[in-house]
């Protein structure tokens, strides 16, 4: 039996869920909306790299969840256990069932810390850290600021992950700090991928950033174990179809864990074969259940999982949900836009913007491969404002990005 019914039910009060709820309320103040969320706090996660680099206060990235939920929207404190799409219901872990006319799944992504042997017990000590946790980002800066020499490792797991540039952003901030302090530290970036970035246009420029810092990129390597007290990392290496293991000593290691859709999504009837919420990449409407929509990291859309993507998905999801409620066809279209402000040093950012299929779509006419001080201001000052006061409030922001062409040759790079 359904305990409560809502015209719009939203799973998740992250950037996607709250921004769509706010947009819907602005367009239809009488619309009854509920958001399901177990967390006490809402976090501005894009700034955690800056926290780890000693350039931002962690406390500024956290606000009480109740204060972030739009006025008039019901906050349901609880965790989702599963979906009953044929009955238009969501099941909570405490047994409650909430009905809906339209459902938006904005469940985010799950960090699988336990997929790496020894990692969970090592984090927060012996130089083992990660900016992917609020409580650990300050420890990252502690590790960087105290390191006088030795080896600093930075790892990235297999895609997809949220904010695919974050694993290398902290490397650059650390490298810049070591250079300023005159410290000789061996820097290594370890990834199962074959390049520094998924879009070749930007990857070639990032190769130059790595070279400028004297950092070594180790491709085809996947972190499988961490021995904190022994200060050793174990990587699986695949070469010519053969798997071997490589043990690398470290003085500090920044780890990004493998990631996946939350269990209640990946084991549900709403998931695709990979476990992601299966939606149309343009309309964000579920491919089998037309009154179900998705936004953000939990979906199957083949774009980079960033807050910038959510910013452009939110108006599409809101418009198409209203169309569905009113018996119309979805008209909003998402083009796959994502943005990754790559902090190449404490003071400069390379602003990587792109859409589906790696199409380069900068918001500004200047060559986006060149790190600029203006983009540092964007990253540290403007984007937090855009997040808290525009995106989460459901306000509109103009679309500035568009396809632009630049010379194939990479310009001189000064991180």
Active site residues: 163, 340
Please give the C-alpha separations between residue 286 and each of 7, 103, 150, 301, 317, in angstroms, as whole numbers: 17, 10, 50, 11, 11
- Following DSSP, what letter does each residue of 325-342 receive, concatenated? HTT----------EEEEE
- Residue 304 has, within 13 A of its CA and on its CB side, a CA count of 24
Tell me how long the chain is.
415
Q: In what order do the strands lie in the sheet with 242-249?
A: 221-227, 232-239, 242-249
DSSP letter, residue 306: -
Report d(CA 202, CA 359) in Å as an integer. 11
Ramachandran area for residue 114 (φ above 0: left; ψ -120 to 50: alpha; else beta) = alpha
| ∠ Cα 307 379 164 (to 5°) | 45
Phi/psi for 137 (5° steps) reads -55, -40
**Residue 121: strand, helix, or coil:** helix
Report d(CA 294, CA 111) in Å as an integer. 19
Q: Which has the closest alpha carbon to 173: 213, 221, 218, 123?
A: 213
Judge contact between 321 and 102, C-beta under 8 A. yes
């Amino acid at each position: 039996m359904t305990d409560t019914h809502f015209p719009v039910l939203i799973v998740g009060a992250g950037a996607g869920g709250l921004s769509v709820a706010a947009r819907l309320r602005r367009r239809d103040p009488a619309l009854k909306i509920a958001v399901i969320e177990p967390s006490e706090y809402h976090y501005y996660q894009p700034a955690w790299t800056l926290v780890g680099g000693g350039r931002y206060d962690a406390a500024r990235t956290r606000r009480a969840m109740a204060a972030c939920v739009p006025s008039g929207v019901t906050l349901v404190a609880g965790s989702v256990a599963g979906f009953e799409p044929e009955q238009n219901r969501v099941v909570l872990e405490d047994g409650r069932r909430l009905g809906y006319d339209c459902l938006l799944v904005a469940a985010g992504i799950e960090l699988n810390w336990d997929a790496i042997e020894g990692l969970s017990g090592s984090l927060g000590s012996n130089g083992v850290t990660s900016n992917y946790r609020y409580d650990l980002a300050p420890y990252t800066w502690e590790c960087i600021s105290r390191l006088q020499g030795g080896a600093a490792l930075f790892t990235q797991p297999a895609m997809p992950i949220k904010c695919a540039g974050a694993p290398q952003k902290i490397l650059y901030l650390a490298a810049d700090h070591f250079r300023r302090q005159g410290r000789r530290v061996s820097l290594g970036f370890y990834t199962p991928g074959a390049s520094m970035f998924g879009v070749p246009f930007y990857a070639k420029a990032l190769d130059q950033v790595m070279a400028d810092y004297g950092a070594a990129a180790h491709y085809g390597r996947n972190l499988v174990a961490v021995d904190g007290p022994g200060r050793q990392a174990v990587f699986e290496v695949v070469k010519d179809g053969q798997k071997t293991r490589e043990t690398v000593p470290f003085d500090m290691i920044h780890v990004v864990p493998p990631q996946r859709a939350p269990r209640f999504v990946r084991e549900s009837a709403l998931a695709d074969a990979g476990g992601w919420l299966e939606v149309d990449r343009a309309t964000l409407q579920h491919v089998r259940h037309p009154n179900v929509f998705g936004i953000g990291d939990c979906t199957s859309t083949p774009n980079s999982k960033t807050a910038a993507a959510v910013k452009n998905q939110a108006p599409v999801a809101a418009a198409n949900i209203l169309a569905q409620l009113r018996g119309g066809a979805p008209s909003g279209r998402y083009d796959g836009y994502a943005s990754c402000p790559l902090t190449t040093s404490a003071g400069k950012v390379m602003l990587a913007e792109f859409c589906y299929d790696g199409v380069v779509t900068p918001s500004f006419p200047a060559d986006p491969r060149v790190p600029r001080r203006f983009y540092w201001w964007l990253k540290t000052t403007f984007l937090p404002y855009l997040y808290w006061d525009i995106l989460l409030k459901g306000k509109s922001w103009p679309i500035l990005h568009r396809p632009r062409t630049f010379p194939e040759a990479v310009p001189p790079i000064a991180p």
